[in-house]
Chain A
């Protein structure tokens, strides 16, 4: 279930247009916080809150190099969303397997 908890945070992180824009930008390659903040008409402290949400979801890693904080996208984390759908498929396939086995046994009691 720990994986699902991580997923909740990923969904929360993605449920915001500023943060999605940051993800899109980071898809092109790493960038500094100030570079990322530039297109947005919000204060740096508010922007940093978004960065922190992204960081705690694991979608973005940050590292200080000198006086600059660089952000990198964790693509594997982003892939969790796809992984989750695959898992839902697995749940429904398993369910269908069990239903099929159950009704087939009903029909031909052995």
Chain B
């Protein structure tokens, strides 16, 4: 996926002077992730880090180290071992469609080999706030009705 909307998406490229598996470990080991996920003095706690497609990625954070509030609640979409992580908060960790404020995002983290270590790339795609409106205008039920109708027609033509 290379589609990027410059109005709503952000990309970031960085060469990290450490081997790729070390950077991957820092992302996928809960204890390590908690070390850098939020800026100090805020403390992060990794509640769930199930690194596989459909797996939960849940963190909470605390300003005083005692009271924790929810932070990340998302799900992994793609996990290419050692090479790529994709997760989104448009679906929460229990697979319920979510409406995170102000808009949903999908983050793609790519780990590539580089002579100096790891070529690290982040792409964060944000939902278009106007898209909700378009969805309403199209009519949620009409949309599904049309899909179901097409599916039924296809199934019937095959059966016939």
Chain A interface (Cβ < 8 Å from any Cβ of B): 4, 7-8, 11, 14-17, 20, 84-85, 88-89, 92-96, 98-104, 106-107
Contacts and interface: CB of A to CB of B under 8 A. Distances in A.
Contacts of A106: 18, 22, 26
A14 B16 CA distance: 39
Nearest to B105: A88
B126 A85 contact: yes
Nearest to A94: B39
B114 interface: no
8 contacts: A7-B102, A15-B132, A88-B10, A94-B39, A99-B120, A102-B26, A103-B22, A107-B19
B34 to A, nearest CB: 11
A16 B131 CA distance: 9
Interface of B: 8, 10, 12, 14, 16-19, 22-23, 26-27, 32, 35-37, 39, 101-103, 105, 120, 122, 124, 126, 129-130, 132-133, 137
- In this complex, which of B22, B26, B102, B120 has the most chain A Cβ atoms within 10 angstroms of its Cβ? B102
A15 B14 CA distance: 35
Nearest to A18: B133
A92 B27 CA distance: 14
B36 A98 contact: yes
B13 to A, nearest CB: 9
Contact of B16 (A8, A89, A94, A99): A99
B30 to A, nearest CB: 14
Contacts of A88: 10, 105, 124, 126
Contacts of B126: 85, 88
A14 B18 contact: no
A95 B102 contact: no
